Structure 1
Amino acid sequence: MRNITYILAASTLLTLFGCATLDRADCLNADWRTLGFEDGVKGRNQSQISQYRQDCAEHGVTPDLNAYRQGHTEGAAQFCTAQNGFRQGMQNNTYQNSCPADLEAAFMSGYRDGQLVYEARSRVDNARSEQRKLGRYIDEHEKDIKQLNEQLVADGLSREQRVNVRDKLAAHNENLGQAKLRHAELTAAIIILQRDFDRVRASMSHY
Structure 2
Amino acid sequence: MRRYGLMPLFILLLGSLSGCASISQEECVLGNWYQIGLSDGTRGYHNRAASYNSECLQYQVKMDVTAYNRGRNQGLKTYCSYENGVSLGKKNWGYNNVCPSSLASEFLSGYQPYKNLAGAKQELEKFKKDVKFYQSRVNSEYSSEYFKDYNIERLNTAKEGVEEAKAKVAKYQQEIEIHKIQREKSKILKELSRTDISPSRRAILNQQLGSLNTRETMLNTIQSIKQIAEMF
Distance 1:53 1:109 in 2: 35
- Deviating above 6 A after TM superposition, structure 1's stretches of 4 or more consecutive aligned residues are none
Q: How far 1:70 sits from its partner (Å)? A: 1.5
**Counterpart contact for 1:28–1:61, Cα < 8 Å:** yes
**Counterpart contact for 1:17–1:26, Cα < 8 Å:** no
User: Bigger radius of gyration, 1 or 2?
Assistant: 1
1:25-63 Cα shifts (integer Å, max 9, x gaps): 2211241111101100100122x1111111101101111
What SS does structure 2 have at the residue aligned with 1:21? coil
- Which structure carries more relative contact order (alpha carbon 8 Å, separation 6+)? 1
In the alignment, does 2:201 pair up with 1:203? no
**Counterpart contact for 1:16–1:26, Cα < 8 Å:** no
1:134-192 Cα shifts (integer Å, max 9, x gaps): 134235xx3325xxxxxxxxxxxxxxxxxxxxxxxxxx235425534653564465255
Structure 2: which amino acid aligns with 1:71?
G
Task: Trace 1:173-192 onto structure 2 (pairs within 5 A).
Answer: 173-177=145-149, 179-180=151-152, 182-183=154-155, 186-187=158-159, 189-191=161-163
Select which of 172, 183, 193 maps to 2:165. 193
Q: 1:72 matched to which residue of 2?
A: 72
In the alignment, does 2:35 pair up with 1:34? yes
Aligned length: 167
User: TM-score, with normalisation over the residues of structure 2?
Assistant: 0.60
User: TM-score, with normalisation over the residues of structure 1?
Assistant: 0.66
In the alignment, does 2:127 pair up with 1:137? no
**Counterpart contact for 2:89–2:111, Cα < 8 Å:** yes
1:58-105 Cα shifts (integer Å, max 9, x gaps): 101111112111211211111102232233344443323322221111
- Unaligned regions of 5+ residues in structure 1, if any? 1-11, 146-171
* Compared CA separation, residues 99 and 189, structure 1 to 2 (3 A): closer
Q: 1:62 matched to which residue of 2?
A: 62
- Unaligned regions of 5+ residues in structure 2, if any? 13-20, 184-232
